[in-house]
Structure 1
Amino acid sequence: MHFDLTDLRLYLHILDTGNITAGAARSHLSLAAASARIRAMEASLGTDFLERGRRGVTPTPAGKALAQHARILLQQAERMQQDLAEYAQGVKGQVRLLCNTTAITEYLPEVLADFLRDHPNLDIDLQELPSARITHALRQGAADLGIVSDAVDTSDLQTQPFRDDPLVLILPTDHPLSDVAEVIFSDTLHHDFVGLSADSALAIYLEEQALHSGSRLQIRIRADGFDGVIRMVARGAGLAIVPLAAVERAKHQAFTVKPLKETWACRSLLLCARDFAALPGYAKALLPVLVEQRVSEQLDVEHRQLASDRAL
């Protein structure tokens, strides 16, 4: 058996993405090189690790066993690198952070940029996934930290509050629903929507809620990011459901905002891990930055509220 760490990382990337092409891209390998490595791994033990299908690949029983050992070996290699980093110059660590759409677009860019500026020997592997897939990845040891909606099951993970993240309905000012006092989600499903890209975490989440209501979202067009969605709604292209945080950044646009009363829309975001105390040193360095940012923002809100009260 002759596997190296590159082989093991490639194999896990293939499992995480569901196909060899995407796994090769995440490993910065060509498809031909990745396929050759997987074939060599299978040949060395005389067994298949992957079942190939039209929609991608899934692990065989032997492949599932390999994945468990690969995660452990790569975690041990990472911790060895951390322990030795102080004796070496130029050694870089990497934090694996998975987030849903709102966290990755609304709350993290400046926070993570400041962190990277202050920690030149650390990199961040940042990926956007639906919350349910994030919790699964954390349980499998495929990530250090995750930021998820509180709607998913986190009972076997450790969590800390990250942000309140309510979703709201936005409409063109002349839309028939703009004058309705209280709009429920099922009422909107008879109208056209502007959506995010189909593979975004929030788009998948909203489609699930529509299916639970017995219908589907009628998407006229998809935009790349909340700013594009809001601009199209303001121009009359359709309705949209976006985080309140995105709306607050777009006050110069003309549109109507309606709160959604459904439980799934009144959500909060959670910072989670399998065990905060057992995180690698690199991830432990990022953790307090994420927590402190929440506290700082809460204080800013309280100060603004106090100033407003005094003005009255």
Structure 2
Amino acid sequence: KLESKVGGPLLVRGYRRVSLTPAGEILRERAQGLLREAEMAEEITRLAVHGKAGLLRIGFGIASLAAGLPDILTRFRQHFPAVQVSMADMSTPNQISALEQGDIDVGFVRLPVEHPDLETVPVLEERLVAAIPRGMPYRKGLASLRNEPFVVISRSVSSSFVDHVARTCRAAGFSPRIVQEVNELFTVLNLVRGGVGVSLVPRSANLMHVPNVRLLDTGLEEAKWQIGLAWRKVDPRKGDAPTGGALDPLVHNFIRLAYRPRGVAPVGNLKPSPR
């Protein structure tokens, strides 16, 4: 029947022996390849059902890089090598919007985040450090900068960050005199380098290696903040969701692994979808 479909012989039929024609050899090789592909498709699907394969889209900010995100990613790749990871560098407000729109699956955000549709859990810790031009005295810690002009990230970029800067300065006994707001941390550091002012920046700013700018610890508890992992809440009543109203198992696996650096036990409502 197959020979009639292809319009020619696939077998050479002898008295005691049957062999393949050249066309039959091509069919056999192709069929074997299709079987291997089917087996691979079945295996990758089985892994995906359990959150061990697929695409995970992660939002992050520079602060999370110095605070421990690379270690989390390394462990995740070791445990789930079949998962493809896509990283997007964005601010906390932009991550929140991306989570709302479904453009990322999880995000490393600055806590606290108050949002009715998001869950968060603290996984990393970061802190503010003083950024001053080389040669400026800093004998009294942050209080040494009480009379200096400040350059900060714009409130439109992150109001919570600006509030944190002000709160940390108040803990040192003064309110910062802000003379310039900019949109990028790299710009802040270069304005400090140029003598426009001083600043409080994330410790992760040392990754930028701006010359003639010193980054110094404040010694204040108020300078610390937590970086949390954020993801969309799941509603079991929403059966039309992609995961049937349950947490995607791939997201679930990443959240569970991200807890481990700080020894935080997974919370009870992290239930993966059976998908």
With structure 1 as the length reference, what TM-score do the two structures score?
0.47
Aligned: 1:95 with 2:64: no
Residues 173-216 of structure 1, C-alpha deviation per residue, up to 9 Å, x if partnerless?
6204x1345439875435xx7x9xx9xx9994489739996531
Residues 44-97 of structure 1, C-alpha deviation per residue, up to 9 Å, x if partnerless?
xxxxxxxxxxxxxxxxxxxxxxxxxxxxxxxxxxxxx99971189xx9501111
Partner of 1:157: 118
Aligned: 1:243 with 2:202: yes
CA distance in structure 2 between the aligned counterparts of 1:98 and 1:186, rounded to whole angstroms: 35
Residues 86-136 of structure 1, C-alpha deviation per residue, up to 9 Å, x if partnerless?
189xx9501111112211344111321232233221011111111111112
**Residue 102 of structure 2: which of 129, 141, 153 is its match?**
141
Shift of 1:241: 3.5
Structure 2: gaps spanning 5 or more residues: 1-40, 167-176, 235-244, 265-275
SS at match of 2:55: strand
CA distance in structure 1 between the aligned counterparts of 2:78 and 2:155, rounded to whole angstroms: 29
Partner of 1:291: 259
Shift of 1:142: 2.2
Residue 200 of structure 2 aligns to which amino acid in structure 1?
I
Shift of 1:238: 7.5
Shift in alpha-carbon separation, 1:137–1:186, aligned structure 2, 3 A = farther
CA contact (8 A) 1:160 1:272 kept: yes
Partner of 1:86: 46
SS at match of 1:146: strand
CA contact (8 A) 2:206 2:215 kept: no
Residue 243 of structure 1 aligns to which amino acid in structure 2?
P
Aligned: 1:209 with 2:162: yes
CA contact (8 A) 1:106 1:246 kept: no
Considering fraction of residues, name the structure with more helix: 1
Partner of 2:77: 116
Residues 25-44 of structure 1 correspond to what in structure 2 (within 5 A)? none
Residues 243-286 of structure 1, C-alpha deviation per residue, up to 9 Å, x if partnerless?
346769x9xx99462428696x5421111111279332222221
Considering fraction of residues, name the structure with more strand: 2
Partner of 1:257: 216
CA contact (8 A) 2:59 2:95 kept: yes
| Aligned residues: CA RMSD | 5.0
**Residue 89 of structure 2: which of 128, 138, 143 is its match?**
128
SS at match of 2:263: helix
CA contact (8 A) 1:82 1:93 kept: no
Shift in alpha-carbon separation, 1:124–1:222, aligned structure 2, 3 A = same
Shift in alpha-carbon separation, 1:155–1:128, aligned structure 2, 3 A = same
CA distance in structure 1 between the aligned counterparts of 2:205 and 2:254, rounded to whole angstroms: 24
Pairs aligned (count): 196
With structure 2 as the length reference, what TM-score do the two structures score?
0.52
Residue 209 of structure 1 aligns to which amino acid in structure 2?
V
SS at match of 1:159: strand
CA distance in structure 2 between the aligned counterparts of 1:96 and 1:187, rounded to whole angstroms: 44
Structure 1: gaps spanning 5 or more residues: 1-80, 224-228, 297-312
CA distance in structure 2 between the aligned counterparts of 1:140 and 1:114, rounded to whole angstroms: 28
CA contact (8 A) 2:57 2:104 kept: yes
**Residue 271 of structure 1: which of 207, 214, 229 is its match?**
229
CA distance in structure 2 between the aligned counterparts of 1:169 and 1:268, rounded to whole angstroms: 18
SS at match of 2:71: helix
CA contact (8 A) 1:163 1:270 kept: yes
Please say which structure displays the higher CA radius of gyration. Answer: 2
CA distance in structure 2 between the aligned counterparts of 1:202 and 1:114, rounded to whole angstroms: 35
Shift of 1:239: 4.6
SS at match of 2:179: coil
CA contact (8 A) 1:185 1:260 kept: no
Highest RCO, 1 vs 2 (Cα 8 Å, sep ≥ 6): 2
CA contact (8 A) 1:130 1:202 kept: no
CA distance in structure 2 between the aligned counterparts of 1:120 and 1:290, rounded to whole angstroms: 16
Shift in alpha-carbon separation, 1:172–1:96, aligned structure 2, 3 A = same
SS at match of 1:153: coil
Residue 153 of structure 1 aligns to which amino acid in structure 2?
E
CA distance in structure 2 between the aligned counterparts of 1:82 and 1:105, rounded to whole angstroms: 39
